Amino acid sequence: MYVTVKGGEQAIDAAHAWLAEERRGDVSVPELSVAQIAEQLGRAVDRAMSEGSLYDRDLAALAIKQSQGDLIEAAFLLRAYRTTLPRFAHSLPIDTASMRAERRISAIYKDLPGGQILGPTYDYTHRLLDFTLAAGGTPPPVASAEPDGEALPRVPDILGQEGLLEPDEGSDATPGDLTREPLLFPAPRDVRLQALARGDEGFLLALGYSTQRGYGGTHPFAGEIRMGEVSVEIEPAELGFAIDIGDIVVTECQMVNQFKGSKTVPAQFTRGYGLVFGFSERKAMAMALVDRAMRAGELGEDVTAPAQDIEFVLYHSDNIEATGFTEHLKLPHYVDFQSELQNVRRMRRAAE
Amino acid sequence: MTEGYNFAYLDEQTKRMIRRALLKAVAIPGHQVPFGSREMPLPYGWGTGGIQVTASVLGPDDVLKVIDQGADDTTNAVSIRRFFAKTAGVATTTHTAEATVIQTRHRIPEKALRDDQIIVYQVPQPEPLFRLESSRVETRRMHGLADYGLMHVKLYEDVARFGQISIAYDYPVMVNGRYLMSPSPIPAFDNPKMDRMPALQLFGAGREKRIYAIPPWTDVRSLDFDDHPFRAINALEPCGLCGATDAYLDEVVTDDKGGRLFVCSDTDHCAERRDAGHVGKDGVP
Amino acid sequence: MTAPLTAGFADPVLDSQRCFRSVLDGMARPGRIHTVSGVIPPAPLCSAAAAVLLTLADHETPLWAHADFAPARGWIAFHCGVPDAADPARAVFALSMGLPDLAGFNPGTHEAPETSATVIVQLPSLTGGAPLRLRGPGLRDSVLLAPIGLPADFVIVWRRNRGLFPAGIDLILCAGEELAALPRTVAIEEA
């Protein structure tokens, strides 16, 4: 006799209880606090905020704790939370020219106004496991100095003075918002940039890399990368002037790309732009490469490579969508599989 | 009900947006209406589209049934039913006849649906042409022109190669003689139930951000050829538990020696028949 | 214009859900009449049309309203926050006393027929007029609807609209507390 399986409900409860126990791990080891994660796993927090589209270090740290450090899961938790939040106001565009930069480098000038600022980078660390970290302890004190207050003009603005770089067309139009409206084509650059800023770091990294290997070459130079704090301002209609509501840390990358010109446009340099929450140079650079690659069509270049295919990039850059659909294959599909089984059996009978 | 969230989870602004999309979907049977799908607390691919549609139609007087693979007790069905019991406090049921709203993944219940019921399908891929043309810009153009030659060629090639159409589930349909539509991954066995169904059929694809609908009593034709008419496929034997011969059956592997048992995929249908005294060859009276 | 604003839905969440189900069922079953009560809008807006607006319209849906509804504009703006569509072609919803010139509204395109306008047509009554026979998706056979206040050539106007399919305008007819819908798919003839 066969008895159908029941008990999905108990199974789910049991799974959740087991997960909670696993998450905590060995209780003789002190529990991680959200503050520890926010302070000491900063790059993970940055990534969860960026892909979760929500700038809140404490919530991101909580999400990382809840997800056992699975950063896509953490970003998912943040996304699901942010959709329920009411919108009080829209910020004015942030002004990265007045960033309190902790890092600012340009690969296309030896020196420039404001100077090169190396900042807290892994770039020149030798990748040797540091066993003193395993032992714990406080790092030696760092020499500090007052900011010299020197302005840090953006490299594209310097290049632009000579007319060598395509102008950055300003716009007062309300930017699109993928979190409220479906993606439709042709997708304007504001929507594309939003998708990239929320996009999966690994996906953008691979796509950006592919452009460097000849799949839609963009001849990039890292015009400038800067990371640091910028002010967020809103302008309430009843006030009529902007007020500062706080600071966020962002990484901005301006790629400068060779462009030979076309029938209508003279030879000049073109832009690829990357901007992400937190310290995430890798993603900002990859984003700038992919942004420029996706502009191939509008600049009259051949669209041949994956990174240049706007529809392909935008439909596959979101890791919350991608992970959901990839992982949904583990849900039961036995009804469809059964229909395929019967189908294959029928076709084999017909062939015999 | 869960504190801190609106009735049925979605905020009212979101519901209005989805409701407007639903009305247009009903007015243009089979046409995929883009909508501002929200990020739900369940993963994409797990019914977020169906959940958003259900959340937008559901009221306190509704009785909700959720099935996955035809069963009320599969884990994802349990999870979604719990979500609505928690966020909307609605009554739930496993009985098809008692439900006013049925959310489903991959099946249509065996019991004929009535004119006072709504069935909400979870749709992973709303675009019926996606295997033939990957660009949604292109497929949208094709729907606009009702240019479905690609699909007819694909079916014709099936017939030429295999002697029959080889699609077993998510078998494309023409709605009201105009729109080519994905019925969602239901087995082709279920396709005929969609034709002139008295209940309103709503489809939600969360990740792909599309909603579509079939009004009651609307013609839904499975694509075929005169000399190769559409045929629903099913197992060749009756349900082992209730003896049903006209229900869609799951195949259960009972041992490692080729033992097989075929049982109704619609668990409510099977239980109801057994309660009424029907016994299959593997069942107990 | 200085009269105090009357209330909208008593329970905005549940009342709009109930009203939506009526409109959804109406759109799914052309000609079926639903009663929507509970709203007391300022004249000349009828309560069914008011309920439909409260349920569906908001700051994302520009509304074109017939000049006759001027006394109710403040109420609609306050409760729905809808922007004015001075140009009917930009309207997502339109509110009209009797049938307006449908040609002025956006019928959508073949690729995006869902962008078409929905016109809320306020009439004296949904019953007691010359019967119209409706057929199409949503209807098992044909049904009759006999509204009062549609123009004599409505069947011809409608045939033109239906000929635009998949583009086309959808109508929600409202009278007092009653509503019925005519989606673009429905075929209408004089009975």
Subunits close to C (at least 3 CB pairs below 8 A): B
A315 — pLDDT class (breaks 50, 70, 90):
very high
pLDDT for residue B2: 61
ipTM over 0.90: yes
With an 8 Å Cβ cutoff, are C137 and B16 in contact? no
Euclidean distance between CA atoms A267 and A255, whole angstroms = 17
Q: Is residue C70 part of a domain?
A: yes
- Is it the case that residue A101 has pLDDT exceeding 50? yes
Give mean pLDDT, residues B251-273. 93
- Is it the case that residue C2 has pLDDT exceeding 50? no
With an 8 Å Cβ cutoff, are B78 and A9 in contact? yes
Q: Is residue C6 part of a domain?
A: no
Structure-token pair, residue C90: 């930009």
pLDDT for residue A1: 46
Give mean pLDDT, residues B77-89. 92
Q: Is residue C157 part of a domain?
A: yes
The answer to whether B185 and B171 have CB atoms below 8 angstroms apart is: no
CATH of residue C186's domain is 3.40.50.11310
Euclidean distance between CA atoms A303 and A309, whole angstroms = 7
Instruction: Assess B94–A contact: CB distance below 8 Å, yes or no.
Output: no
Structure-token pair, residue C164: 């635009």
Euclidean distance between CA atoms A96 and A160, whole angstroms = 16
Domain boundaries, position C162 = 12-190
Query: pLDDT digits over C51-66, tens only?
Result: 999 999 999 999 999 9
Q: What angle do CA B256, B260, B265 make, to 5 degrees?
A: 130
Query: pLDDT digits over B118-174, tens only?
Result: 999 999 999 999 999 999 999 999 999 999 999 999 999 989 888 888 899 999 999
Mean pLDDT over each residue of chain A, to the nearest integer: 91
- Is it the case that residue C69 has pLDDT exceeding 60? yes
Q: Select the residue from B15, B26, B221 to test the C interface by mutation, using most C Cβ atoms within 10 A.
A: B26
Among C55, C56, C166, select the one facing B178 at the smallest CB separation: C166
- Is it the case that residue C99 has pLDDT exceeding 70? yes
Q: What angle do CA C156, C158, C161 make, to 5 degrees?
A: 120
Give mean pLDDT, residues A36-57. 97
C103 — pLDDT class (breaks 50, 70, 90):
very high
Structure-token pair, residue B184: 């969602």
How many residues are given for chain C? 191
Give the largest Cα separation in chain B, rounded. 59
Subunits close to A (at least 3 CB pairs below 8 A): B
The answer to whether A273 and A204 have CB atoms below 8 angstroms apart is: no
Euclidean distance between CA atoms C10 and C29, whole angstroms = 27
Total of domains in chain C: 1
pLDDT for residue A300: 86
Query: pLDDT digits over A243-272, tens only?
Result: 999 999 999 999 999 877 767 777 889 999
Active site amino acids of B? 30, 239, 242, 264, 270
In the three-class reduction of DSSP (H, G, I as helix; E, B as strand; rest coil), residue A281 is classed as helix
Q: Is residue C173 part of a domain?
A: yes
The most confident of the ranges A39-48, A141-150, B5-14 is A39-48
The answer to whether C48 and C87 have CB atoms below 8 angstroms apart is: no
Q: Is residue C91 part of a domain?
A: yes
Q: Is residue C171 part of a domain?
A: yes
In the three-class reduction of DSSP (H, G, I as helix; E, B as strand; rest coil), residue B32 is classed as coil
Give mean pLDDT, residues B102-120. 97
pLDDT for residue B189: 95
Q: Is residue C4 part of a domain?
A: no
Query: pLDDT digits over C139-152, tens only?
Result: 999 999 999 999 99
Q: How far is B186 from chain A (nearest CA, A)?
A: 7
pLDDT for residue A352: 79
Mean pLDDT over each residue of chain B, to the nearest integer: 94
- Is it the case that residue C172 has pLDDT exceeding 60? yes
pLDDT for residue A44: 98
Q: Is residue C3 part of a domain?
A: no
Instruction: Give every strand in the sheet of B210-214, ordered side by side.
Output: B33-34, B210-214, B200-205, B118-122, B101-105, B63-68, B91-92
Running DSSP on this structure, what letter comes out for residue B6? B
- Is it the case that residue A4 has pLDDT exceeding 80? no
HEC assignment per residue over A111-178: CCCCCCECCCCCCCCCCCCCHHHHHCCCCCCCCCCCCCCCCCCCHHHHHHHCCCECCCCCCCCCCCCC
Euclidean distance between CA atoms C137 and B217, whole angstroms = 6
Query: pLDDT digits over C117-134, tens only?
Result: 999 999 999 999 999 999
Euclidean distance between CA atoms C81 and A25, whole angstroms = 51
Q: Which residue has the tokens 């339109």?
A: C94
Structure-token pair, residue A18: 């087991």
- Is it the case that residue A2 has pLDDT exceeding 70? no
